[in-house]
């Protein structure tokens, strides 16, 4: 039971109507071309693994008044039964997906039934359900957490698990199963869709991108439910710490941010709050910076600031940073290997290779204990438990003391305060954006089921614009898959298996470019920016993440644009056109075709999706 | 330099006019009776120490239209020069006091000058000033931190410091000096006022109650600038953690809250967010609970919850708790004593008494190091550095493992996650309440100076009502003083010296009563409440702290009420009244007088203000 005397937050939600979708009982769907995958080298493996669900077309759900001649119009909605399950870690906004789905189902047919599985995938296997009603939803609308239904470890992967899910869907007579989660849960969803199709089970599986890490990104998915909230809450806290630093003028704050392997949260928070430094895992990995390189980098920055009589600062670190540092990564690999061989925690350190052992012994006591923790179910280290911020603060302190002693640093003593921001943001009330995004995604799920699609993810694009400009659609999950080939470490188990993989921060992307352009100013000038607390009304309520706003993400819009070009060429080059025109067209198109063929061949760029 | 692209927050502030004060150029002031002190036993000491500033009357600043026959009306405002200084730790809203003061000064006379001292009391001693202008203020309105002017260690106590302040005020030709700070800074302000009066310096000293700890409370001061913000930001984070706990269902979160010795912040946060448990320092001190008692209490709670199949929970701990635990307190005393004798940190543990040594050796390694830290300037331990939450989590874990082994506990393994919430809230944007409260206090300071008062604190009462119902006034700081007599420990230096002391949580007060009434429900039923993020518009923007709303704080209103009774009796019992009436009145009044005399005698209740 929860007591929500709080922000009476649903008022504004009830007021908005879904201009981006047909909110009546009509579903209008337009199908695009058959999809391919971004990973040409892996496509064969993906086709083989997903014979029933590979290559399906994209779907667009149209606004009430849009005129598309070959759109399919669905007006008849026989009563259906749908199941919904939370998979993976809680993310603010998850509840609103269920609300949106329920809302849409009841509009289409009051006899539609929505069953929530209690306790995540465990509930799915055990057929533990709760029928979603207005009453059940009433205290969870616009609220954080996943506690309306709960969750567990949440894998649907082993044959046993997949069969249990299949049995449940059959027993409960489900027409649709909606899986709410991140990268791994949606991979599981895709697998489930394939298995169901193979088994001629009539339950259609739909995925929804809900993960605060923001790492389920690709051509079809611009951002994930929860990411906006997490970044805003963390940015508020980081800004508060920046203000504190500026007033106290005597501490360096090392802040580690939850976010798993990719550094999306850290990048976005840096763009929102302008701390003095942020060290992204992707930078460290691409430049192969060692622990000493990073320490030196920070110390040099502190020294440069001291020369301007500044003895405070704020440094952001993503939790995934520790795995990006090459020598630590190698050490973690060895530890992980010994865990797998069943070596007990107490004996691991004595069985390390001489090289790894030397590094291990060098590290401070607290971090040793944390590195030895059993890895997570996906083979990665327990990132939330490894206090990278303390390790770096410790190393920086040692180095600064050394410089002080040697006389190369002449400033005041270095003082650090360490923070880990994660749990206190993860349970937040969702931001207005996440409330809306999740609610509309819930509606889209219902449309997908009405259209009878299986193995699709609900998508919304053009998100940086107001809700009435959003474009709703669905993309086959197989089109988002890649195959890992050269990885040798955490995640080694999934090599060769097609999966939706974590998207890393794109070091060539606009968001990162923006950070680089400002890095020197952030470092030296204390241009701290305080976005303030999450707002639900008034100025700031409609703010979106910087990452979303700076990237040109309208993938589908650009594909349309290309098709327009092709149509134009076709219209110009018709029988009767001049020979010169034909010649120019032929020459240009032959060269375009050649370039694209080379770029799309399996051998090209094959090292990209590691 | 700061970049404030953020919430465009000043909009609403410009819109409100000060209905609670005369916002024109007229100052209307009504003086009350001469003040006494709440500490009868100490009053003699206070009179002796403050011959020039003791016993001054209360002052009320009236609304434009209020009709009070003997109010003094000041319409002439010759140009004055005022200094303002931030003392002590930053607190959200401090900047708005300066803004309000500046705003009022310029309304009264455009030639008035406001000088800010740079770097706190150090700037005051060194005459380092910055003239406050619209330009200087522009990026600090409604913003957190103290960084417009900065601060340092901030004592104005030694003869040297007091003389330096005196010299500065004379040299800068100041008519007024406004000191913004907490308990100790306002004690210093009172001392400065007395010294200035003694030295016939014309600078009038005014104090402003700005401290996020909320421990500067008495008959005249209902709450402090910053407390509302801190409690709201912390409650948001605590609620987020509660939501997380409810979704993850596998952790106990131990959260330590910044707040110095008193537990006001922890109490208020508990009332706002309904965590499962909160352990107030005042409870522990009054019941003399040992570390083992507290551990046992928590373990019993965990066990009771496990019996209901609940393996998650949120426990709040004030940072001052550690000093409230009797045996730890005694240990800290010994350590403090050895510090004073100049014993080096490395040798302290070997010089402890056998009893203290045994306790010390029993404690886990990390906490030992923290207990040995040099005490703060006020002799208290470095509370923000002592990880009480980790100590308790550690002891609870050991005890739960023991119970598991013995078979008295049969539930799942206990898992703890520890947090310290302080810095991330301290730098927050001030809440709407704190913005308003601080701004109006700034205006009140200007009124105090116009009325020529010295040694007063700016006060606003009736704060739980809307701004236009607030009552503005000023109270002599000597009336808030008490004298410590029986303390023997941290703060031993101030024994016998009159001071404004930290107000502890009143275990007989309504706020604590409210907590007690709900404690069982909070513990077992997970009635977590999420107040959500700070709002500046819409629902929730005008929420006030529970503590403020439940306490009957209208002290001055009640004194007025009493005076009405006395007037009524005087009007009834006039020459010509019946003998019976006279007899009844005499008998009643004689008994009332006797009771009150006994209660006000120095010997009565003399143990109260320890």
Pair (B353, B489) in one structural domain:
no
In a domain, A155, yes or no: yes
In a domain, A589, yes or no: no
Pair (A299, A272) in one structural domain:
yes
In a domain, B544, yes or no: no
CB pair distance less than 8 Å for A526 and B144: no
Give B536's contacts in chain A (Cβ within 8 Å). 532, 535, 538-539
Average pLDDT estimate for B349-378: 88
Pair (B187, B309) in one structural domain:
no
Question: Residue A566: pLDDT band by 50, 70, 90 thresholds?
Answer: confident
* Of A238, A549, A258, A606, nearest in space to A426 by CA: A258
What is the sign of the dihedral through the CA atoms of B19, B24, B25 and B26?
Answer: negative
Phi, psi angles (nearest 5°) of residue A29 = -125, 135
Q: How far is CA A125 from the centre of its chain?
A: 26
C-alpha distances in angstroms, B120 versus A211, B132, B149? Answer: 45, 15, 7
CB pair distance less than 8 Å for A247 and B151: yes
Pair (B222, B129) in one structural domain:
yes
Pair (B171, B32) in one structural domain:
yes
Q: Is the ipTM of this complex over 0.85?
A: no
Give B246's contacts in chain A (Cβ within 8 Å). 2, 145, 147, 427
Average pLDDT estimate for B291-313: 96
The CA dihedral of B534, B538, B539, B544, to the nearest 10 degrees, is 50
Among the partner-chain residues A244, A425, A527, the one whose CB lies closest to the CB of B427 is A244
> CA B428, CA A238: separation in Å to the nearest integer?
10
Pair (B211, B248) in one structural domain:
no
Lowest pLDDT segment from A189-193, B229-233, B482-486: B482-486
For residues B456 and B474, is the Cβ–Cβ distance under 8 A? Answer: yes
pLDDT at residue A515, rounded to an integer: 96
| Strands of B416-421's sheet in order across | B277-278, B313-318, B252-257, B416-421
Give B140's contacts in chain A (Cβ within 8 Å). none
Pair (A481, A469) in one structural domain:
yes
Give A253's contacts in chain B (Cβ within 8 Å). 423
In a domain, B128, yes or no: yes
Residues A500-515 have pLDDT tens digits of 999 999 999 999 999 9
> CA A474, CA A189: separation in Å to the nearest integer?
14
Residues B36-47 have pLDDT tens digits of 877 777 888 899
Give A243's contacts in chain B (Cβ within 8 Å). 90, 143-145, 147, 427-428
- Does B385 reach chain A within 8 Å, measured CB to CB? no
Lowest pLDDT segment from A21-35, A322-336, A339-353, B506-520: A21-35
Among the partner-chain residues A8, A236, A417, the one whose CB lies closest to the CB of B423 is A417
Phi, psi angles (nearest 5°) of residue B522 = -55, -45
B467 vs A376, residue with greater confidence: B467
CB pair distance less than 8 Å for B247 and A525: no
Average pLDDT estimate for B269-293: 95
Lowest pLDDT segment from A119-128, A537-546, B227-236: A537-546
Question: Residue B10: pLDDT band by 50, 70, 90 thresholds?
Answer: very low
Closest-CA residue of chain B to A529: B3
Pair (B271, B158) in one structural domain:
no
- Does A538 reach chain B within 8 Å, measured CB to CB? yes
Question: Residue A14: pLDDT band by 50, 70, 90 thresholds?
Answer: very low
The single residue listed with the structure tokens 């083979």 is A379
Burial category of B410 from C-beta neighbours within 10 Å (exposed 0-12, middle 13-18, buried 19 and up): exposed
Q: How many CB atoms lie within 10 A of CB A564?
A: 10
Closest-CA residue of chain A to B118: A247
Closest-CA residue of chain B to A5: B529
Pair (B440, B402) in one structural domain:
no
DSSP string covering A203-256: PEEEEEEB-TT----SSS----BTHHHHHHHHHHHHHHHHHHHHHH-S-EEEEE
A289 has pLDDT over 50: yes
Phi, psi angles (nearest 5°) of residue A345 = -55, -40
- Does A311 reach chain B within 8 Å, measured CB to CB? no
Question: What part of A 262-291 touches B (C-beta under 8 Å)?
Answer: 274
A131 has pLDDT over 70: yes
Give A534's contacts in chain B (Cβ within 8 Å). 532-533
DSSP state of B398: H
Give A527's contacts in chain B (Cβ within 8 Å). 1-3
Average pLDDT estimate for B405-432: 93
Question: Residue B22: pLDDT band by 50, 70, 90 thresholds?
Answer: low
pLDDT at residue B245, rounded to an integer: 93
Burial category of A486 from C-beta neighbours within 10 Å (exposed 0-12, middle 13-18, buried 19 and up): exposed
Pair (A522, A484) in one structural domain:
no
The residue among B89, B151, B234, B243 with the most chain A CBs within 10 A of its CB, best to mutate, is B243
What is the count of structural domains for chain A?
2
Domain containing residue B56: CATH number: 3.40.50.450
Average pLDDT estimate for A449-476: 94
Domain containing residue A295: CATH number: 3.40.50.460
Which of B481, B500, B519 is at the close of a domain? B500
Residues B206-246 have pLDDT tens digits of 999 999 999 999 989 999 999 999 999 999 999 999 999 99
- Does B153 reach chain A within 8 Å, measured CB to CB? no
The rounded mean pLDDT for chain B is 89
- Does B249 reach chain A within 8 Å, measured CB to CB? yes
What global pTM score does this model have? 0.85
For residues B141 and B8, is the Cβ–Cβ distance under 8 A? Answer: no
Among the partner-chain residues B8, B147, B244, the one whose CB lies closest to the CB of A427 is B244
What is the domain extent for residue B186?
1-226+430-500
In a domain, A291, yes or no: yes
Which of B480, B500, B520 is at the close of a domain? B500
Give the list of residues 6+ apart from residue B188 with CB closer than 8 angstroms, or none: B87, B155, B156, B157, B179, B181
Question: Residue B606: pLDDT band by 50, 70, 90 thresholds?
Answer: very low
In a domain, B599, yes or no: no
In a domain, A391, yes or no: yes
Secondary structure class of B64 (helix, strand, coil): coil
Closest-CA residue of chain A to B423: A241
Pair (A218, A253) in one structural domain:
no
In a domain, B565, yes or no: no
- Does A367 reach chain B within 8 Å, measured CB to CB? no
> CA A429, CA A229: separation in Å to the nearest integer?
8
Which of B530, B547, B573 is at the close of a domain? B530
The residue among A532, A539, A542, A546 with the most chain B CBs within 10 A of its CB, best to mutate, is A532
Pair (B421, B365) in one structural domain:
yes
The residue among B141, B149, B236 with the most chain A CBs within 10 A of its CB, best to mutate, is B236
CB pair distance less than 8 Å for B145 and A537: no
Average pLDDT estimate for B457-476: 93
CB pair distance less than 8 Å for A236 and B537: no
CB pair distance less than 8 Å for B239 and A150: no
CB pair distance less than 8 Å for B423 and A526: no
CB-facing half-sphere around the CA of B470: CA atoms within 13 A: 28
Residues A372-403 have pLDDT tens digits of 988 876 677 788 889 999 999 999 999 999 99
- Does B532 reach chain A within 8 Å, measured CB to CB? yes
């Amino acid at each position: 039971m929860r007591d929500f005397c709080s922000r009476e937050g649903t008022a504004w939600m009830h007021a908005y109507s879904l201009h981006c979708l047909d909110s009546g009982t009509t579903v209008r769907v337009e199908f695009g071309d058959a999809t391919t995958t971004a990973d040409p080298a892996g496509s064969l493996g993906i086709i083989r693994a997903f014979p029933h669900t590979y290559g399906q077309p994209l779907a667009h759900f149209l606004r009430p008044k849009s005129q598309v001649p070959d759109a399919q119009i669905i007006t008849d909605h026989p009563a259906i039964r749908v199941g919904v399950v939370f998979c993976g870690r809680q993310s603010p906004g998850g509840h609103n997906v269920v609300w949106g789905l329920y809302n849409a189902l009841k509009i289409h047919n009051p006899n539609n039934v929505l069953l929530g599985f209690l306790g995540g995938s465990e509930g799915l296997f055990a057929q533990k359900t709760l029928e979603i009603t207005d009453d059940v939803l009433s205290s969870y609308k616009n609220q954080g957490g996943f506690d309306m239904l709960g969750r567990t470890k949440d894998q649907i992967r082993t044959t046993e698990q997949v069969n249990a899910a299949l049995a449940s869907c059959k027993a409960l007579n489900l027409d649709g199963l909606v899986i709410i989660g991140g990268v791994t849960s949606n991979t599981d969803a895709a697998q489930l869709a394939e298995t169901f199709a193979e088994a001629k089970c009539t339950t259609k599986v739909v995925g929804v991108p809900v993960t605060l890490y923001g790492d389920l990104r690709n051509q079809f998915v611009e951002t994930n439910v929860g990411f906006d909230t997490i970044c805003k809450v963390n940015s508020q806290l980081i800004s508060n710490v920046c203000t504190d630093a500026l007033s106290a003028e005597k501490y360096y704050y090392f802040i580690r941010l939850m976010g798993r392997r990719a550094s999306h949260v850290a990048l976005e928070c840096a763009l929102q709050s302008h701390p003095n430094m942020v060290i992204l895992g992707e930078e460290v990995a691409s430049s192969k910076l060692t622990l000493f390189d990073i320490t030196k980098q920070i110390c040099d920055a502190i020294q440069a600031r001291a020369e301007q009589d500044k003895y405070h600062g704020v440094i952001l670190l993503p939790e995934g940073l520790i795995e990006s540092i090459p020598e630590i990564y190698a050490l973690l690999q060895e530890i992980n290997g010994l865990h797998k061989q069943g070596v007990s925690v107490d004996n691991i350190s004595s069985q390390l290779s001489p090289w790894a052992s030397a590094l291990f012994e060098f590290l401070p006591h607290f971090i040793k204990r944390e590195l030895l923790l059993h890895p997570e179910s996906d083979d990665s280290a327990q990132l939330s438990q490894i206090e990278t911020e303390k390790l770096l603060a410790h190393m920086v302190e040692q180095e600064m003391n050394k410089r002080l002693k040697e006389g190369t640093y002449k400033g005041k003593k270095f003082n650090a305060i360490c923070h880990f921001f994660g749990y206190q943001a993860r349970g937040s009330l969702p931001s207005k954006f996440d409330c809306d995004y999740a609610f509309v995604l819930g509606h889209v799920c219902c449309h997908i089921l009405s259209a009878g699609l299986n193995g699709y993810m609900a998508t919304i694009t053009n998100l940086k614009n107001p809700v009435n400009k959003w474009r709703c659609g669905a993309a086959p999950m197989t089109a988002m898959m890649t195959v890992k080939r050269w990885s040798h470490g955490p995640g080694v188990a999934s090599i060769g298996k097609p999966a939706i993989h974590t998207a890393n921060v794109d070091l060539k992307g606009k968001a990162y470019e923006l950070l680089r352009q400002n890095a020197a100013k952030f470092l030296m000038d204390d241009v701290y920016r305080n976005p303030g607390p999450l707002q639900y009304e008034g100025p700031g309520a409609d703010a979106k993440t910087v990452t979303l706003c700076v990237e040109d993400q309208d993938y589908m819009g650009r594909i349309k644009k290309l098709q327009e070009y092709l149509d134009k060429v076709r219209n110009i080059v018709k029988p009767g056109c001049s020979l010169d025109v034909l010649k120019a067209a032929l020459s240009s198109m032959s060269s375009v075709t050649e370039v694209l063929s080379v770029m799309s061949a399996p051998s090209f760029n094959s090292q990209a999706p590691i």
